[in-house]
A and B are shown apart, each in its own frame.
Chain A
Amino acid sequence: MNLVEMRGITKRFGALAANDNVDFVVRPGEIHALLGENGAGKSTLMKILYGLYQPDEGSIVIDGSDEPLRSPADAIARGIGFVSQHFSLVPTFTVAENVLLGYEGRFRLDPAEMNARVAQLAAANGFSIDPAAIVGKLSVGQQQRVEILKALYRDCRVLILDEPTAVLTPRDTQALFEILRKLREQDLAVIIITHKLDEAIENTQRVTVLRLGKVVGSQDTSSTTSAELARLMVGRQTVPVQREAATGSTQRVVLDVNGLSVADKRGVQALRSVTFQVHAGEVVGIAGVAGNGQSELVSILTGMLQPQSGGVSVDGKPVILGDPRACTQHKIGRIPEDRLRGVIGDLSVADNLMMEQLDQFTRVGHLQPAAIAEHAQRLIEDFQIKASPGDPVRTLSGGNIQKVILARTLSQDPAVVIAAQPTRGVDIGATEYVHQKLTEQKARGAAILLVSEDLDEILLLSDRILVIYNGQLVGEFASDAVDLDRLSMLMTGAEKTG
């Protein structure tokens, strides 16, 4: 008897099919891993099951009933629980208050009785948690337990956890799986969305792998290996090679990153002593699954985050960290991860194009409109930006906003280019354009660090590939010696050594 049967699910966003005729079955008493790269369609599928999205095609049968799931409330009523990566907790409330919120059951509340109820629920499921504790003061792992308790309190029989271990320490991760095992013993079904293969292998009964919106494998965990799963997930047959070889004096180190460590907002170590060099005329790609420290690395290198330890130098000169102005001084060109943070959307294209060179375009505090306009006109032509100088940047398409950032950055002849997700969310034409521009910079002798979740992009452009996992660089490949199987396993933590 299947608890959840999703059959032939298709969900399109525009022309893109995020889920393409997906079959997904969950049985009671199993922990089921839903595996896939970023953008493989895992989250979409689970949001459909939780009533957040409506499928375009397909049927969902939960416990024999195929009533449609119109909203999360419907899903909750049918026994679906969802623990998202971003907790929906009220930090100033107690554990008990958070668990009961919205489902109090009566008007008058008695804290002692609430605490007792929650403590009993926790105990019945093998948790230890203080129901009177203030949630904001709990560790991330404990907060996650509150989220699970919330789902259990609402009588969930299918518990979905989205990347549950992404934010956890190893010890919390262990504790989490212990809890999940106990839930499974009570015949609940647990679905974990993940891309960490070792976790899936160790802790689950079944796995389903999605790639590009399609199911590419669904089987008992015991009958597979992490190598096989990695191949299924990443699934590339050939390495595209059309790259020009690294040119110029590749021996000269331009960007020298030494021992960067930093903790994220929750105190979890996001980067652990990251060290690497980028030479003149070289593209170094950082490959990795999202959330393994790439964002923090980019933030540090773009002056937006101060590391706990470590240093960065350009052409042998140390860069003051945590100050965006220092980047401009050291000719570090920056293409930020979130392009809307790299521009002021309400200001004009012309203004945005010169914002890093204000000194050049002002005289005694007075802007030089003629020079600014001329500069803008030139860059708009050079970089084929489809806009006029006076247009507010936010009215542009994503690709054109990216071109504005490229134009601003690359026109300053940077010694180093930090390109973070440079083609995320832009169309094919703009993608090719960005790639062409980065290649030009390489030919000019710039040292380029490419951080991307798009493995194809990394493979296409990089002379050298560094693999990041859990805040550490765990492997390095030369472009002509990429072993895709090993790369997949390193990225997904299936193999721990570099």
Chain B
Amino acid sequence: MILILLRKSAMLLLSAVILLLLTFWFHVRSNDLGDQDLFLRFLIYLNRILRLDFGFSAQSSRPVSGEFLEYGAATAELCLAAMIPSLAAGFFLGCFAALHKDRWLDSAITNSSIMFSSIPVFWIAQIFIALLAVRVDWIPSNGRISLLYSTEQITGFILVDTLLRDGFGDSFLNALTHFILPVLSLSILPTTEMIRIVRNSLYSVMQQNYIKAAFSRGWSSWYIIYRHGLRNAMPSILAQCGSVLFLTFTSVIIVENVYNWPGVGTWIIEAIRSGDVNVVNAYLVLVGMLFVVLNISLEFAADLSIIYLNHPGRGRSTPS
């Protein structure tokens, strides 16, 4: 286990160095450094990044890292609110599809997930706005909370903040209604991806003889899926979950821009438009690092599940 941890940290370090070299190249290109020693500049750059000092934003003249935290909280809240239900729903629908493979339930789930995954996010978001926010005017479609309520920050998560300040009052409900459309449009892609992953991994396990033997004992399907199916499919499901995260993070930029959500997505698009190199650089470093860390920790989780579920992949249970 320590060996796996070391191997993963080595991978983490390597990816981090490559990432930093790339962003340093961007840094060199965007700032005129004259004929200074590149290695020395890199060390200085590294030092600044380790202190999380990305300079000041050209637009708002505030420190970039502070701004990132503020916008990042909004994005993280949106991502979590979209991902937790979509992971759960995708998981169960995937189990259903694997259990009823090649029957109508499976083809209904699979075909509709293919259909939903081929709808572009920016398009469905605009359709939602046109139908639900403009035509019938049920749900707000702009920002995180109505301007009538104060937006003083406590944790940065608006639902938590309003809850802490007013309890289950108007402001909380208002924030909640602001969540509906962005979460809806953001959760489509991760759900379909999760369905695909769970269905394929679980189905290949459900073909095995020990599953058929379990079925022949007359046990219920969900018990068999829980006891034997998921136990054997878990490592491959966990290892593929990275793509769900990836999908969410890429589509959240689009969703934030469509719904004018004050998160990292709108922030970075605004910065690119106005040529704010410090912000772009900070974004590249921080989001890149987040991705590397998440991906590698997911792989680590998959390895851990191999160990703790006693998979034949581990050395001990191979025939001696």
Are A and B part of the same complex?
no
